Amino acid sequence: MKFTLKVITPYGEVFSGDVDKMMIKTAEGYIGILPRHIPLVAPVEISALYLHLDGQVKEYAVSGGILYVTPTLTRVVANSCESKDSIDLKRAEAAKDRAELRLKEHSEHIDVRRAELSLQRALNRIHVVQTKH
């Protein structure tokens, strides 16, 4: 048995189709969604999104958003969502280095929260690329 999933960002639809299972991190931790899951609305953290389809696992890096589960459709409305194959590891590592440098500077001109979020996004991308399934 499968369920219908749509992953949407401000730039358009990233995924639409039937899946066996999905996993994503909410404010309460990682949650697995299976067919016939109870209705749910939850904030999505910067995390990996795992889609299980016919014995395969597709991985994405999600930069926050909202998860909606209804009896007929599950939606992830994300700030951004990148497939494992589309992530440039060198670019993600450079972004991580920049964010770490900004956080070490302790300058009054640095937006600390923005630098922390940038670091989390970069680490998430690196994690998704390096995860083996």
- For the chain, the structural domain boundaries read 3-84, 88-130
- In the DSSP assignment, the letter for residue 70 is -
User: Which CATH number describes the domain made up of 88-130?
Assistant: 1.20.5.440
- The CATH superfamily of 3-84 is F0F1 ATP synthase delta/epsilon subunit, N-terminal (2.60.15.10)
Which phi and psi angles does 119 have, rounded to 5°? -65, -45
Domain 3-84 and domain 88-130, same fold? Reply is no
Find out whether 21 and 32 touch, Cβ atoms under 8 Å. yes
Q: What is the pLDDT along the chain (133 residues), one digit of tens a residue?
A: 999 999 999 999 999 999 999 999 999 999 999 999 999 999 999 999 999 999 999 999 999 999 999 988 999 999 999 999 998 899 999 998 988 888 888 777 777 788 888 888 888 888 888 887 6
Dist CA 82 CA 129 (whole Å):
10
